[in-house]
Copies of this chain bind each other. A is one copy, B any other.
Amino acid sequence: MVISNWVNSVIEAGQEIMRGDRKLFAPDHSIADNIALLCEQLLSSKGEALGTALASSLVEICKQLDAQQKIDFLQYLASQFSAPEEQIDNAIAAYQQDPSKQNLYQLHIRTAPPRQELFRRINMAPDGTNTLVSLRADLLPLLKKHPELWEVDNDLRHLINSWFNRGFLKLVKIDWRTPANILEKLIAYEAVHSMNGWDDLRRRLASDRRCYAFFHPAMPDEPLIFVQVALTSGLASSVQDLLNTQVNADMETQADTAIFYSISDCQGGLRGISFGNFLIKQVVMELQGELSNLKEFATLSPIPGFCRWLTSYTEGDELSAEQITLLEPYLNPNQFENLAINPEAKELLTQLCAKYLYQVKRDRQPMDPVARFHLRNGASIGRLNWMGDSSPKGLAQSASMMVNYCYKLDRVAEQHEKFLNEGLVSAEKEFLKIQQETN
């Protein structure tokens, strides 16, 4: 890309600030002071004239800040760039005197923090969007210790939410022809069932698998979220089977079911800005269009909160002593292996798991976070799978149980509404039967 001397000179200014050369802007000042000067210039009329150059300079600096400098920068952003009090008071007074729409609009405008405009101008630079998303990724873990940063988070989230509108996202099919610099990020970001390098990835992109990701045009090398799908005959019941099975090329034409076995967010800075909902539904539509044999669309999902709840449940008095004895080893995953084939335990754990997913709530919503996500999307609970995840993690979290959430597009809207309005948990017949037996 061509960058003229003119732009370079401004960017170099930024680099000099970082190197402590500080010839420009303010020779005697600290780095922090110089960043402050740059931010002020970017918000001033100079920002208008120098276009993307000042913004590029700030972006360059942000990339090079160390951990403490970053905190300083965020605190500086928090302490400055709020709306001035007098201006607010005047706007309130005017509105109270005459509650016209104009005065309301002024009140809204005058209470907006100038920080948002600063961020908008930083976004003008190449890589500006990425910089702001990364800034928020750095900020979020600091919030607990530095609650004063919440305003900065607020403004970043507001803008990012607007910029990452669904209408701007591109759904991209990921396969073995995808550029390696994208693929390596999938390996890095896979959160649910981690990948052991390129061979593992290659298998997950074979002809009996599908993978889709959302991208934003301003961050073309950064997947935002991706979902991994297995094409199967009937509902998959074990994630180890899915991950370790040989490629079955026939599935491409013969599969009747698509199993969404992993959804991973890639950008910490996008927390709270949900795409998973859109992603699943859009991928269902894509798959329907590509593979006309597919009839079922379901997840194979972990139940991360089951054992934690079960531990406390056994401490209550609803289970018999025998039942508690039966369960005990399953809450101590080290012993689990030998007990895997105990049919009594399987039955009891399945019933308790059904109870946990269907009845146990917090704030009127299911306690399990994954259940909450899919039910809120309008999915229904399908089948419970004993030995669904036999990895140490799966044993510890859910005594090996996994669950299929079913996505039936013609019912998601209704189920979503009922879940939100009436707290109604939708479930498939098969599940309801187990659930009823439980009671």
Contacts and interface: CB of A to CB of B under 8 A. Distances in A.
A288 interface: yes
A45 B82 contact: no
A382 interface: no
A124 interface: yes
A75 to B, nearest CB: 14
A180 interface: yes
Contacts of A50: 413
A278 B128 CA distance: 16
B48 A277 contact: yes
Interface in A45-84: 45-46, 48-52, 55, 82-83
Interface string A367-386: 00000000001100000000
Contacts of A99: 85, 88
A105 interface: yes
A86 B217 CA distance: 40
A120 B105 CA distance: 19
As for how many copies of this chain the complex holds, the number is 4
Identify which of A2, A112, A413 gathers the most chain B CB atoms within 10 Å of its CB: A413
A49 B167 contact: no
A159 B3 CA distance: 30
Given A179-B178, A285-B3, A51 B278 contact: yes
Given A48-B416, A92-B92, A101-B82, A167 B2 contact: no
A129 interface: yes
A286 B49 contact: no
